[in-house]
Structure 1
Amino acid sequence: MKTINLISPTNDDSIKLAEVSKIIFKSKKSTVLTGAGISCNAGIPDFRSSDGLYNMVKAKHPKSVVRGQDLFDISLFRDEVSLSVFCTFMEALYVSTKEAKPTETHKFIKTLKEKNKLLRCYTQNIDGLERSCDLNMGIQEGHLVVKNENGVQVQQSSITSAGQFTKSWKELDVVQLHGNLHQLSCTHCLTSYAWTQEYQSLLSQGLNPECKSCHEKYLERLYSGKRMTGNIGLLRPSIVLYGENHPQAEYLARGLNHDLKSRPDLLLIMGTSLKVDGVKKLVRSLSTSIHSKGGKIIFVNKTPLSSSSWNGIIDYQVLSDCDEFVKSVKREIPDLFLTQEQLDSKKLLTPAKKAVNKSNTSDSAFTPPTTPTKVKVKSEIKSEQTIGMDLIYQIKKEAETYKRMNLSIPTPELTPASSFDEETFKPALRQVSKSQLNRKIKVKKESKEDVKDEKLLKRVSPTPTNEEIPMKKCKV
């Protein structure tokens, strides 16, 4: 059995935690066993810790209760004082569970269901917080208890068909092994009742309400003159006490066999010290089935187990608060906690990121690194070179035109330079100063073609102005 201490973790603990997270992520049929430890962060105390329910009861009623565990024993119905303390304590616990909110561990169980990984959750808790997470829990009464002709209650599970049983069992997400605090049941006829203000008020005073069903039967037999049989039952929370058989024991046994045949591949034990005999048997049965498939058993609790009695049964022991363990798993495998929409959007983004990374890798491997700025400069140089070549061609053409026109123009009479007619040559000449040409042409000396263009520009002289045209003497 490997131990992982998340209270003061080491590097080795981090490696083992990654292994556990991977096992949970790969599991397809997970079973979960929970105890009171998963509800402590919701404000509901556990049983056996220093500030748990047992010590709390003993501190409040030191004369009436010898041990806190005695308050949850079936023998308390023999003593009126113990029964009164039990009623008062159960009413206070019921009020606290109504105000409590689901913890991270409860939400984690819901996540396993949403990911189609949850086969079944078995809980020892009676607070019913799983119902707040929209988990199907409890067993419908129509599938459990019916009455025969004589009004005697019988187990429905013993007479229903296999198909009906399988359908009803598969509807369950959470199986309450120790009953449900949010229901009341009769100690005589087992009829279930919901909590009302009247019942809650009586229980807070340490009084057990009478069963209305039993009372009606009593009056019916009394008025008809029949012999009185039986007693009028009392209402109590529908929880299983020590020394008491579970009212749906046969149904639960069939359900457990159904889950074992489903071949689960993981058992998560969270928030329980595994002190109850029935729970120990459940863990050993599930362990045999899971290990036969190559699955793992993971135990999560603040207090460690006895390694001698659980070696070979439990594979990983995680010493941690249950909610902190869930948060650690969430950091290791965040995809498990994402909704389907979030996963779909992530899948769409992943190929795009890979394509960008691949293109960047290929470019850096075969070409020198470039930047958008450099590309822009090259394009500007190319455009400037094109403009320069156009100007050179235009200058050449104008120079040839000037030569031809210079030969064909008749020689004017000799006149002073001040009276020279500028309009004569204006249509044929285009004034382009050297400074204007230098500003427009910006040729980079990076290639041989650029050098040739620059030499060509030097050979081409600018168009002469009127003052620079030489005066020729004319023969008279």
Structure 2
Amino acid sequence: MQELLTLLQNSKYCVILTGAGISTLSGIPDFRGKDGIYNKFDADLIFSIDYFNKDPSYFYTHSRELIYELDKKEPNIIHRALAELERRGVVKAVITQNIDMLHQRAGSENVIELHGSPKKHTCLACGKKYSIEDVAGILENEEIPMCKECGGLIKPDVVFYGELLEHDVIEKAIEESSRADLIIVLGSSLVVQPAATLPFYTLDNGGDLVIVNNMPTPLDGYARNKYDDLVEVISYLAEKMDIDISEHI
């Protein structure tokens, strides 16, 4: 981990790529870990746009904890450490595959949400916008949220399987990854595209890749360093860089 610390301290443009693994400390299950969503039900169906259009109740039944109880979750030491590193200018951008909005709540400002955000929802019929709080309130009494204006189906502004990512979002993620001389992947299995290709833009720029994940990834062979324990790594960096995370453990 001393080498990672040196890489980080010497980096002129460090970018972080985060996946679901960093939010497990906040009580949000990941997808492919030993206690992940795939071990409980078919996550591909939950976030399938085709299945959502056919049977939206499946999504709204199985996504309560993932999305509509996020107000009960708090940013953990990883989110807070990254926010402090950004405040110090060490980290330039956080690119995330997550839709839990915990990076922003921790204080990170330059956050690129590859898969969108449930902060806003949209009626698929008339385009009326709803906040996540509005929809959570509807779901307290109804199985499926329907538009109060036209009766249309409401969907979170999250990119489902079968939908295209926002062009501006992926372009910004590619731009940041291309500028980076160091990209650190935290808690991602790097199997979902296009997020899995982003480290190659850094590598092509002559930069370094570091991966921290408790499972193997397809990019392990490209990494300058690979670590398994997120808490151990973040705690080490926090201690060496004088970042106080004790109250958030």
Q: State if a TM-score over 0.5 links the two structures.
A: yes
Residue 31 of structure 1: how far off its partner (Å): 0.3
- Indicate whether 1:98 and 2:84 are aligned: no
1:229-256 deviation per Cα after TM superposition (whole angstroms, max 9, x unaligned): xxx642122211111112x32x124424
Q: Is the 8 A contact 2:18 2:98 kept in 1?
A: yes
Residue 260 of structure 1: how far off its partner (Å): 5.3
Q: Is the 8 A contact 2:79 2:102 kept in 1?
A: yes
Structure 1 pair 175–192 and aligned structure 2 pair: CA distance change class (3 A): farther
Equivalent of 2:62 in 83, 89, 94:
89
1:134-158 deviation per Cα after TM superposition (whole angstroms, max 9, x unaligned): 223xxxxxxxxxxxxxxxxxxxxxx
Residue 310 of structure 1: how far off its partner (Å): 4.6
| SS state at 1:200 partner | helix
Amino acid at match of 1:76: Y
State the structure with bigger RCO (CA 8 A, min sep 6), 1 or 2.
2
Q: Distance in 2 between matches of 1:41 and 1:238?
A: 25
Residue 285 of structure 1: how far off its partner (Å): 1.9
Q: Is the 8 A contact 2:20 2:98 kept in 1?
A: yes
Report the counterpart of residue 252 of structure 1 in structure 2. 169
Report the counterpart of residue 396 of structure 1 in structure 2. none
Residue 29 of structure 1: how far off its partner (Å): 1.2
Structural mapping, 1:130-149, within 5 Å: 130-136=103-109
Amino acid at match of 2:22: I
Residue 268 of structure 1: how far off its partner (Å): 0.7
Report the counterpart of residue 203 of structure 1 in structure 2. 139
- Indicate whether 1:22 and 2:22 are aligned: no
Report the counterpart of residue 194 of structure 1 in structure 2. 131
Amino acid at match of 1:178: H
Report the counterpart of residue 346 of structure 1 in structure 2. none
Structure 1 pair 46–116 and aligned structure 2 pair: CA distance change class (3 A): same
| SS state at 2:70 partner | helix
Structure 1 pair 176–191 and aligned structure 2 pair: CA distance change class (3 A): farther
Residue 194 of structure 1: how far off its partner (Å): 0.8
- Indicate whether 1:296 and 2:212 are aligned: no
Q: Is the 8 A contact 2:80 2:107 kept in 1?
A: no
Equivalent of 1:275 in 182, 191, 197:
191
- Indicate whether 1:35 and 2:19 are aligned: yes
Q: Distance in 2 between matches of 1:272 and 1:96?
A: 22
Equivalent of 2:44 in 62, 65, 69:
69
Equivalent of 2:102 in 120, 129, 143:
129
Structure 1 pair 286–45 and aligned structure 2 pair: CA distance change class (3 A): same
Amino acid at match of 1:334: M
Q: Is the 8 A contact 2:95 2:173 kept in 1?
A: no
Amino acid at match of 2:157: S
Q: Distance in 1 between matches of 2:74 and 2:173?
A: 29
Equivalent of 2:161 in 236, 242, 247:
242
Q: Is the 8 A contact 2:177 2:183 kept in 1?
A: no
Structural mapping, 1:381-392, within 5 Å: none
Count of aligned residue pairs for this structure pair = 243
Amino acid at match of 1:238: D
Q: Distance in 1 between matches of 2:50 and 2:26?
A: 30
Q: Is the 8 A contact 1:88 1:203 kept in 2?
A: no
1:311-335 deviation per Cα after TM superposition (whole angstroms, max 9, x unaligned): 3x32111111x2221012233x234
Q: Distance in 1 between matches of 2:36 and 2:58?
A: 17
1:110-144 deviation per Cα after TM superposition (whole angstroms, max 9, x unaligned): 121121122211001101011222223xxxxxxxx
1:48-97 deviation per Cα after TM superposition (whole angstroms, max 9, x unaligned): 123212333x2xxxxxxxx33222111113433xx212112233333431
| SS state at 2:69 partner | helix
Q: Distance in 2 between matches of 1:87 and 1:326?
A: 34
- Taking only the aligned residue pairs, the percentage that are identical comes to 27
User: Any stretches of 5+ residues in structure 2 without a counterpart?
Assistant: 245-249
Amino acid at match of 2:211: F
Q: CA RMSD in A?
A: 2.2
- Indicate whether 1:113 and 2:86 are aligned: yes
Q: Is the 8 A contact 2:181 2:202 kept in 1?
A: no
Report the counterpart of residue 247 of structure 2 in structure 1. none
Structure 1 pair 188–316 and aligned structure 2 pair: CA distance change class (3 A): farther
Structure 1 pair 46–208 and aligned structure 2 pair: CA distance change class (3 A): same
Specify the structure having the higher radius of gyration (Cα): 1
Structure 1 pair 190–274 and aligned structure 2 pair: CA distance change class (3 A): farther
Structural mapping, 1:303-318, within 5 Å: 303-306=215-218, 310-311=220-221, 313-318=222-227
Report the counterpart of residue 348 of structure 1 in structure 2. none
Q: Is the 8 A contact 1:36 1:125 kept in 2?
A: yes
Q: Distance in 1 between matches of 2:238 and 2:24?
A: 20
Structure with greater strand percent: 2
Q: Distance in 2 between matches of 1:19 and 1:188?
A: 53
Structure 1 pair 256–207 and aligned structure 2 pair: CA distance change class (3 A): closer
Residue 189 of structure 1: how far off its partner (Å): 5.0
Structural mapping, 1:199-238, within 5 Å: 199-204=135-140, 205-210=142-147, 212=149, 215=150, 233-238=152-157
Q: Distance in 2 between matches of 1:323 and 1:315?
A: 20
